[in-house]
């Protein structure tokens, strides 16, 4: 869809016209479903490969537009941020050899991309969330400067009526306030598309919802964000919060989140999904629509349903039902959006085979899920899997069962049967399903490998160095296309590094001892003695930093002043500060330039730490 035709909903005339076409599209879709106008063609599957772009230090680098210009291929497209891009895989018939072909195509596309972008000195690690991403990468200047991204960001900012706030509680906790939706670009997914057969739309969509939790538990690859260990698949929490268009008023009215698992089973017809979306989700953007869908259908043409597709594209269901026209024929397909990128291409294709096999192997007795299982239990299964991965206990119909037992004893056999029914040879089935089987048996998903190595390495290195080593090793295994269950732990060697390898947050002290500006000077004397400090920061009633007192300044004070004067009479009020994401070498330069021994660290206008010359002196060549 052309970015030039995309606008906000401020224009009343454009909004009215778009809404008209949206409603007509749903009427037309209902007519197509009622009259069985979807052809019973061969089933196709497809995929979208999202990628992060990093430099040789494994840091995100905003080179997507330059790379895509060099690649000049319509299968390679932009994403929200300039340090991401996407490869669209050509749809393929679901038949013998399809998974080998998908694997071959993915490898060829990635090799082509790497060859074309060789001059840019970049790499493409396969991780659901890049371990090396940092707070400064969320600068809104990194948004891809295309209208559809800029408009979406501005609309969501206005609906929020405040900054974007992210709160995730997992092994660690993280709270983050941002001025854009760019944190969403942390997430890279491997999205799978499966065309549905007429006559099974409702049943297969419900089944896709039912199996989401167990499938996700076997595929997790996103445990780390900004140096914190959060969920096994942190993408799920992060995406939901970064694209949440609700403000406090909407929350009181219980408006549904725009990133969602869903609210209920489909009861009668899949068009219920689109009708509920129009009922509960306000328009975010509009576009010019030339086609009258009902007229196209009456003329025997497959309607494009452009308005419906656009509205649907701004509601981010983890299982999204999509309408499309391929080779002049209409179809409905499910877009599986919850599986992360990586850890390797062979792992990704194994995930496709597992999910597609399950979809095609749905037992007949599960066709009436609304009367067999509480939808809230299926939704809870999904979020439990995102948090705990293979350590999840699922509610599965009338029993509670572990992820491992459910997958190994029930779901893998179902998937195998489904693939057999599609004519996939047993050898091909074994190659890919065995990867999932071994991953589950050994409890070795990408998330498990990352978490284990993160906790081992951070005992010896800073969080930043740890993230570098993890990403670097992931990239090495990825290039070998070695399934994650075969990955070994990273050997811990204290590799050479110097000040240029660190940022301020790597070394700063965050457990601060702070005094009030009206406190007596005596308190500083005692606090410095008791805690072996050379400087103490000073705040006012609003908890804002207003000064700093150094040991050198304190030594100039006479003993009588300890009782009679307040801290603000001796503090240095012209305080130089620094951001936690700044390279440590910059802090060293500032200290030398301004002849100070310490710099308070400020993030989002809040005091979060202090970095001193002692921190710099403690850095050794071997860390």
Contact 236, 242 (CB under 8 A): no
- Is residue 297 helix, strand or coil? helix
Residue 249 banded pLDDT, cuts 50, 70, 90: very low
When pLDDT is averaged across residues 597-618 and rounded to a whole number, the result is: 88
From 3.30.1600.10, 3.10.580.10, 3.40.630.10, 3.30.565.10, which CATH number describes the 504-618 domain?
Answer: 3.10.580.10
Rounded to whole angstroms, how far apart are CA atoms 328 and 305? Answer: 14
DSSP state of 546: E
pLDDT at 520: 93
Structure tokens at 17: 């016209």
Tokens 């699922």 — which residue? 394
| Reported confidence tier of residue 135, pLDDT bands at 50, 70, 90 | confident
Q: What is the pTM assigned to this prediction? A: 0.85
Residue 585: the pLDDT is 92
Distance CA 390, CA 383 (A): 12
Query: Residue 60 above 90 pLDDT?
Result: yes
Q: What angle do CA 618, 622, 623 make, to 5 degrees?
A: 45
**Residue 50 in contact with residue 184, Cβ under 8 Å?**
no
User: Using one digit for the tens of pLDDT, what is the confidence trace for 478-493?
Assistant: 999 999 999 999 987 7
Task: Label residue 253 by pLDDT band (50, 70, 90).
Answer: very low
Taking the CA atoms of residue 529, residue 530, residue 535 and residue 540 in that order, the dihedral angle to the nearest 10 degrees is -120
Element containing residue 576 per DSSP (H, E) = none
Q: Which of 10-14, 248-252, 393-397, 547-551: highest mean pLDDT?
A: 393-397
Pick 417 or 597 by higher pLDDT. Answer: 417
> Do residues 344 and 356 touch, judged by C-beta distance below 8 A?
no
List the domain boundaries for the chain: 3-441, 504-618
User: What percent of the chain shows pLDDT beyond 90?
Assistant: 70
pLDDT confidence tier of residue 620, bands split at 50, 70 and 90: very low
Q: State the pLDDT at residue 252.
A: 40
Residue 193 confidence (pLDDT) above 60: yes
> Would you say residue 622 has pLDDT above 60?
no
| CA 573 to mean position of chain CA atoms | 42
In 3D, which of 40, 60, 43, 39 has the Cα closest to residue 51?
60
Interval 302-332: pLDDT, tens: 999 999 999 998 899 999 999 999 889 999 9
| pLDDT computed for residue 158 by the predictor | 67
pLDDT digits (tens, 9 = 90+) for 517-566: 999 999 999 999 999 999 999 999 988 899 999 998 898 888 877 778 99
Examine the pLDDT at 514 and tell me if it is beyond 80.
Answer: yes
Q: Which two tokens stand for residue 199?
A: 């006559």
Asked if 95 and 422 touch (Cβ cutoff 8 Å), the reply is yes
Please report the pLDDT score of residue 250 as a whole number: 43
The model's confidence at residue 285, banded by pLDDT at 50, 70 and 90, is confident
Cis? peptide before 343, omega within 30° of 0: yes
Averaged pLDDT for residues 461-486: 93
Average pLDDT over residues 194-219: 97
DSSP assignment of 127-179: -SB-TT--GGGG-GGGB---HHHHHHHHHHHHHHTS-EEEEEESSSEEEEEES
Can you read off the two tokens belonging to residue 361? Answer: 């192997």
Q: Which residue pairs from 246-254 have beta carbons closer than 8 angstroms and sit at least 24 positions apart in sequence? A: 246/159, 246/160, 247/159, 247/160, 247/161, 247/162, 248/161, 250/159
pLDDT confidence band for 254 (50 / 70 / 90) = very low
Note the CATH architecture for domain 3-441. Answer: 2-Layer Sandwich (3.30)
The residue with tokens 């909407």 is 250
Whole-number pLDDT of residue 48: 97
At residue 496, the pLDDT reads 55
Whose structure tokens read 């969920």? 231
Alpha helical stretches, state H, 493-560: 504-507, 521-531, 551-554
Q: Are 14 and 53 in contact (CB under 8 A)?
A: no
Q: Give yes or no for residue 12 having a pLDDT over 90.
A: no
Which of 78-87, 246-255, 259-268, 332-341 has the lowest average pLDDT?
246-255
Contacting residues for 111 by C-beta, under 8 A, at least 6 apart: none
Q: Averaged over 173-201, what is the pLDDT?
A: 90
pLDDT of residue 332: 97
Under a CB-based contact definition with an 8 Å cutoff, are residues 456 and 489 in contact?
yes
- Can you state the angle between helices 375-388 and 201-217, rounded to 10 degrees? 30
Mean pLDDT, residues 508-517 taken together: 91
Residue 80 DSSP symbol: S
Q: Are 183 and 242 in contact (CB under 8 A)?
A: yes
The DSSP 8-state label assigned to residue 598 in this structure reads E
pLDDT of residue 581: 82
> What does the radius of gyration of the chain's CA atoms come to, in whole angstroms?
28
pLDDT of residue 191: 97
The sign of the torsion formed by the CA atoms of 340, 341, 342, 346 equals positive
Dihedrals φ, ψ of 356, to 5°? -60, -40
Instruction: Give φ, ψ of 324 to 5 degrees.
Output: -155, 170
Task: Answer yes or no: is pLDDT of 133 > 90.
Answer: yes
pLDDT in the model for residue 494 = 58
> Distance between CA atoms of 348 and 589, rounded to whole angstroms?
46
d(CA 85, CA 512): 41
The separation between the first and the last C-alpha atoms of the chain, rounded to the nearest angstrom, is 51
Tell me: pLDDT of 1 over 50. no
Residue 621's pLDDT is 36
Tokens of 359: 């979809």
Three-state DSSP class for 302?
coil
Mean pLDDT in residue range 119-138: 94
pLDDT band for position 159 (50/70/90)? low
Q: What average pLDDT does range 183-190 have in this prediction?
A: 91
Q: pLDDT tens, 432-451?
A: 999 999 999 999 999 999 99
Q: Within 13 Å and on the Cβ side, how many CA atoms surround 213?
A: 26
| 555/181: higher pLDDT | 555
The most confident of the ranges 490-499, 552-561, 588-597 is 588-597
CA distance 122 to 120: 6
**Do residues 198 and 40 lie in contact, with contact meaning Cβ atoms separated by under 8 Å?**
yes
Q: What is the token pair recorded at 424? A: 């996939």
- What integer best gives the mean pLDDT of the chain? 90
Question: For residue 283, with 0-12 CB atoms within 10 Å meaning exposed, 13-18 middle and 19 or more buried, which class applies?
Answer: middle
C-alpha 440, offset from chain centre:
23
Please give the pLDDT value at position 182.
84
- Which among 499, 520, 615, 220 is positioned nearest to 383, based on CA atoms? 220
CB proximity list for 411: less than 8 A, separation 6 or greater? 211, 214, 215, 354, 358
Residue from 203, 218, 190, 259 nearest 394 by CA: 218
pLDDT on residue 4: 44
Q: Check residue 41 and give its pLDDT.
A: 83
């Amino acid at each position: 869809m052309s970015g030039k035709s995309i606008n906000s909903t401020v224009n009343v005339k454009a909004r009215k016209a778009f809404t008209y076409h949206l409603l007509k599209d749903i009427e037309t879709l209902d007519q197509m479903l009622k009259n069985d106008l979807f052809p019973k063609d061969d089933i196709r599957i497809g995929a979208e490969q999202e990628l992060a772009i990093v430099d040789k230090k494994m840091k995100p680098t905003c080179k997507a537009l330059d790379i895509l210009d060099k690649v000049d291929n319509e299968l390679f497209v932009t994403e929200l941020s300039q340090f991401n891009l996407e490869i669209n895989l050509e749809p393929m018939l679901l038949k013998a050899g399809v998974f080998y072909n998908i694997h071959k195509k993915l490898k060829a596309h990635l090799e082509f991309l790497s060859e074309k972008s060789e001059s840019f000195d970049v790499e493409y690690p396969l991780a659901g969330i890049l371990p090396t991403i940092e707070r400064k990468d969320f600068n809104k200047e990194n948004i891809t400067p295309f209208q559809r991204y800029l408009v979406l960001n501005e609309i969501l900012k206005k609906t929020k009526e405040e900054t974007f706030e992210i709160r995730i509680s997992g092994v660690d906790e993280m709270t983050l306030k941002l001025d854009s939706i760019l944190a969403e670009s942390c997430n890279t997914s491997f999205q799978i598309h499966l065309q549905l057969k007429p006559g099974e739309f409702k049943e297969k969509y419900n089944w896709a919802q039912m199996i989401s939790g167990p499938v996700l538990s076997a595929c997790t690859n996103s445990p780390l964000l900004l140096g914190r260990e959060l969920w096994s698949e942190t993408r799920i929490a992060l995406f939901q919060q970064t694209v949440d268009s609700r403000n406090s008023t909407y929350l009181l009215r219980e408006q549904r989140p725009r990133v969602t698992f869903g609210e209920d089973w489909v009861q009668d017809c899949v068009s219920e999904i689109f009708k509920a979306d129009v009922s509960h989700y306000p328009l975010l953007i509009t576009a010019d629509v030339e086609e009258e869908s009902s007229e196209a259908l009456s003329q025997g043409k497959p309607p494009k349903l452009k308005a419906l597709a656009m509205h649907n594209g701004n509601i981010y269901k983890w299982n999204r039902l999509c309408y499309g026209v391929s080779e002049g024929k209409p179809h409905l397909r499910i877009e599986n959006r919850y599986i992360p990128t990586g850890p390797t291409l062979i792992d990704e294709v194994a995930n496709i085979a597992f999910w597609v096999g399950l979809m095609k192997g749905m037992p007949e007795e599960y066709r009436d899920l609304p009367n067999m299982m509480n939808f809230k239990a299926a939704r809870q299964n999904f979020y439990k899997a995102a948090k705990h991965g293979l350590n999840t206990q699922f509610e599965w119909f009338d029993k509670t069962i572990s992820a491992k037992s459910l997958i190994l004893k029930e779901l893998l056999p179902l998937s195998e049967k489904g693939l057999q029914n599609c004519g996939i040879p047993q050898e091909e089935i074994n190659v890919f399903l065995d990867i999932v089987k071994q991953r589950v048996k050994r409890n070795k998903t990408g998330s498990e490998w990352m978490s284990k190595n993160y906790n081992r390495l951070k005992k010896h290195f800073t969080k930043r160095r740890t993230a570098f080593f993890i990403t670097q090793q992931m990239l090495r295994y990825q290039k070998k296309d070695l399934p994650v269950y075969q990955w070994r732990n990273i050997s811990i060697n204290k590799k050479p590094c110097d000040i240029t390898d660190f940022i301020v947050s790597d070394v700063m002290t965050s457990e601060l001892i702070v005094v009030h500006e009206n406190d007596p000077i005596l308190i500083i004397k005692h606090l410095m003695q008791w805690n072996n400090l050379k400087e103490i920061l000073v705040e006012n009633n609003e908890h804002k930093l207003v000064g700093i007192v150094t040991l050198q300044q304190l030594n100039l004070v006479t003993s009588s002043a300890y009782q009679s004067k307040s801290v603000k009479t001796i503090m240095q009020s012209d305080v130089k500060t620094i951001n936690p994401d700044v390279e440590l070498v910059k802090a060293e330069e500032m200290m030398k330039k301004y002849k100070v021994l310490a710099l308070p660290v400020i993030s989002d206008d809040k005091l979060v730490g202090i970095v001193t010359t002692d921190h710099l002196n403690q850095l050794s060549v071997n860390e």
